[in-house]
Amino acid sequence: MRRMPLIAAVAFAVLSVLAVIVVPLGPGIDQPGSEVVDHLSTYGGAVRVRALLGALALLALVVVVGYARERLEGAAGHIFVVGAALLAAQVVVHLGLTAGLALHASSLDPPTARTVADVAAMWGPLLTVAGLLLAGPVIWAARESRFPRWLGTVAAVFAVEQLVGMLTIIGPAGSFIAPAGPMSDFLGGGLFLGFLCALGFATALPSRVGAATAADTVPTAGFRPESSSVSVTRTDITDAMTD
């Protein structure tokens, strides 16, 4: 079972990459609704395949965060669970919006397609909240030796990028920090994938805290607690009374 989070992390990475490459890059938020309709009409089937791959990747991701949660305690564990739930909810909503648009792409009204696509484009910028809620507890756990220190470094780099990435919520269209732009989709998405894969790999490793606790409970060789106990016999009591 120790390898399960590693296997899930690899599955998550493969499925996520396939979900990205199965559909060519769509029009940005600065493109008209007619471009959105044309893209969906051309790649409607592939968009729905991407939704399927994304759903399968989400299942693998839940396995990773489920095993990682066992390393966390107290408030950190609760915060981590909230981040994981928020991530899953946002991914499902995003996949539903994009796949739903592809169902009847040829009959879409361009302004409607543009509006729904804009709503779906905001999932990346708002996903930074879930990213921070996941990274923060992992950083704390790494400091407590519940995860390897290198994972804490990875989580810290990811957290800084996610904090800066919140600017994509208000980023102007066509810029590097635009919603669904390069920072959100490529930089943030790549670091998100790397962080979660690293989390799965680290979770598959033995916990230092558990190993230290087990070592503390092993008695020292040659130590016999009963040898240090005081034995009082009836003869000793009689001799004391005679004296």
Q: Does residue 234 sit within a domain?
A: no
23 near 221, Cβ under 8 Å?
no
Q: Which of 5, 152, 3 is nearest to 68 (CA)?
A: 5
CB contact at 8 A, 117 and 39: no
Q: How is residue 93 annotated by DSSP?
A: H
Question: pLDDT digit string (tens) for 87-114?
Answer: 999 999 999 999 999 999 989 999 999 9
* Rounded Cα gap, residues 174 and 186, in angstroms: 15
Specify the number of domains making up the chain. Answer: 1
The answer on pLDDT for 216 being more than 50 is no
Q: Is residue 61 part of a domain?
A: yes
At residue 217 the predicted structure's pLDDT band, cuts being 50, 70 and 90, is very low
Assigned domain for 106 exists: yes
Domain that holds residue 87: 4-208
- pLDDT tens profile 148-194: 999 999 999 999 999 999 999 999 998 999 999 999 999 999 999 99
The dihedral formed by the CA atoms of 212, 216, 222 and 223, expressed in degrees to the nearest 10: 170
Please state the length of the chain: 243
Residue 163 covered by a domain: yes
Across the chain, the runs of DSSP E, i.e. the strands, are: none
Specify if 154 maps to a domain: yes
| Residue 226 within any structural domain of the chain | no
pTM of the model: 0.82
In a domain, 27, yes or no: yes
